[in-house]
């Protein structure tokens, strides 16, 4: 009996040694710089939620600390910081890297582009994210889609735009991504500003107008205090997807189960955040008018046609001068062409009753 007890104790000790060693090895702490403030609906709050999910999934062994914009590096400079390893990860969006690679904007949003289902179909099951991953790998980076949001608004203006799109020539406007290139075709002087920098720029007259996101977010940023005319639809961003961008070597050094936690938690955040935006923005849009005196306006069909033509011109011109842009554009358009028969067959009008 004593021998059996000794053998059992020895076996238990042998099993316990690698388990204890493994437990010690799996404690990881990362710094994650966000491009969006922690209290900013959807954009920032999703990053806070992601960090909490990772901590819970790992029983607090893997901690990704959320850092406010500018706390570690400037909000729009995460690409280089993550590539160099200055930060472990960034809660950001591909369009913020368009200064380096104009084609990167395709991975956030596309003017006159698809809805949520079709867009993710291209990114996840077409070649969208495959091309993105190849680009990031060459720069020492790894990324996962981390959240998507619903349609945005297309501009906050101090006065009604009575002359339509043509009357915007010469104004200074904050605008994002590929949509900014279209607005430049309309004669608008655009610049890209981080969310926290927009209100003071609008207040001081550095810019005359702005777009940023959607009612829940734009109310938080206070644009309605300066500009009361909010234009729809969000032709430039019908759906927008962002990312957790990581140092590639740092990600690959993680235990395999931690890598899978990041991937799965990011994927869950994509669906959760998109549904959250669709749930909360209808009431927020009503609040804009009833509480804050915002006037909801819509571009005419003629204006939208000019913007669409502007987008086709941008596609042609950018593809002619940038091989990467051409590659991504052709793949995106090819996917949409294949999808169109299915999409058109399933499309419904808002009502068929008269």
Please tell me what DSSP assigns to residue 105: G
Q: Which residue has the tokens 């890297």?
A: 97
Contact 154/232 with Cβ under 8 angstroms? Answer: yes
27-151+240-280: CATH number = 3.40.190.170
pLDDT tens per residue, range 172-199: 999 999 999 999 999 999 999 999 999 9
C-alpha dist (Å) from residue 11 to 16, 21, 339: 9, 16, 59
Contacts of 219 (CB under 8 A, 6+ apart): 284, 287, 288, 292
- How far CA 73 is from CA of 31, 77, 274, in Å, comes to 11, 7, 27
With a cut of 70, list the residues of the chain below it in pLDDT: 1-25
**Angle, CA 256 vertex, CA 94 and CA 95 arms, to 5°:** 0
Domain ranges of the chain: 27-151+240-280, 155-238+291-336
- Comparing CA positions, the residue from 28, 27, 138 lying closest to residue 88 is 28
Cα gap 167→157, rounded to integer Å: 12
Calculate the CA 31 to chain-centre distance.
19
- CATH topology identical between 27-151+240-280 and 155-238+291-336: yes
CB 314 within 8 A of CB 235: no
CB 116 within 8 A of CB 123: no
At 28-75, the pLDDT tens digits run: 999 999 999 999 999 999 999 999 999 999 999 999 999 999 999 998
User: What superfamily would CATH give domain 155-238+291-336?
Assistant: Periplasmic binding protein-like II (3.40.190.10)
Q: Can you name the residues that pair with 173 across neighbouring β-strands?
A: 190, 209
Is 30:254 a contact under the CB 8 Å cutoff? no
Q: What are phi and psi of 62, to 5 degrees?
A: -115, 110
Q: Model-level pTM?
A: 0.91
Query: In 3-state terms, what secondary structure has residue 152?
Result: coil
Report the distance separating Cα 195 and Cα 39, nearest Å. 12
At 26 the pLDDT is 84
CA-to-CA distance for 180 and 141, rounded, in angstroms? 26
Q: CA 38, CA 42: separation in Å to the nearest integer? A: 9
Dist CA 314 CA 331 (whole Å):
16
Output Rg (C-alpha) for the chain, integer angstroms. 23
On whether the CB atoms of residues 66 and 34 are closer than 8 A, the answer is yes
3-class state of residue 157 by DSSP: strand
Nearest to 30 by CA among 1, 75, 72: 72
């Amino acid at each position: 009996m004593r021998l059996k007890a000794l053998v059992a104790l020895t076996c238990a000790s042998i099993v316990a040694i690698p388990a204890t060693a493994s437990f010690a090895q799996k404690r990881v702490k990362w710094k994650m710089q966000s491009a969006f403030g922690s209290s900013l609906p959807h954009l920032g709050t999703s990053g806070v939620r992601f960090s909490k999910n990772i901590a819970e999934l790992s029983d607090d062994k893997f901690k990704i600390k959320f850092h406010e914009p500018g706390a570690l590096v400037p909000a729009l400079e995460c690409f280089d910081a993550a590539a160099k390893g200055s930060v472990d990860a960034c809660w950001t969006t591909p369009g913020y890297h368009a200064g380096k690679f104009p084609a990167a904007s395709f991975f956030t949003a596309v003017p006159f582009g698809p809805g949520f289902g079709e867009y993710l179909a291209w990114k996840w099951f077409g070649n969208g994210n495959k091309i993105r991953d190849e680009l990031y790998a060459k720069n020492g980076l790894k990324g996962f889609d981390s959240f998507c949001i619903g349609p945005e608004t297309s501009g906050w203006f101090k006065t009604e735009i009575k002359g339509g799109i043509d009357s915007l020539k010469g104004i200074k406007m904050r605008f994002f991504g590929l949509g900014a290139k279209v607005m430049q075709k309309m004669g608008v002087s655009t610049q890209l500003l981080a969310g926290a920098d927009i209100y003071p720029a609008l207040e001081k007259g550095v810019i005359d107008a702005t777009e940023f996101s959607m009612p829940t977010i734009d109310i938080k940023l206070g644009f309605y205090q300066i500009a009361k005319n909010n234009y729809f639809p969000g032709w430039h961003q019908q759906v927008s997807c962002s990312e957790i961008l990581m140092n590639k070597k740092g990600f690959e050094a993680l235990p395999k189960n931690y890598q899978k936690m990041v991937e799965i938690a990011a994927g869950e955040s994509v669906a959760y955040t998109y549904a959250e935006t669709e749930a909360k923005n209808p009431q927020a849009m009503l609040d804009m008018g009833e509480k804050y005196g915002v006037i909801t306006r819509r571009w005419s069909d003629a204006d939208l046609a000019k913007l669409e033509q502007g987008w086709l011109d941008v596609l042609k011109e950018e593809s002619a001068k940038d091989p990467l842009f051409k590659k991504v554009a052709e793949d995106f358009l090819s996917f949409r062409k294949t999808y169109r028969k299915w999409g058109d067959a399933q499309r419904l009008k808002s009502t068929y009753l008269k």
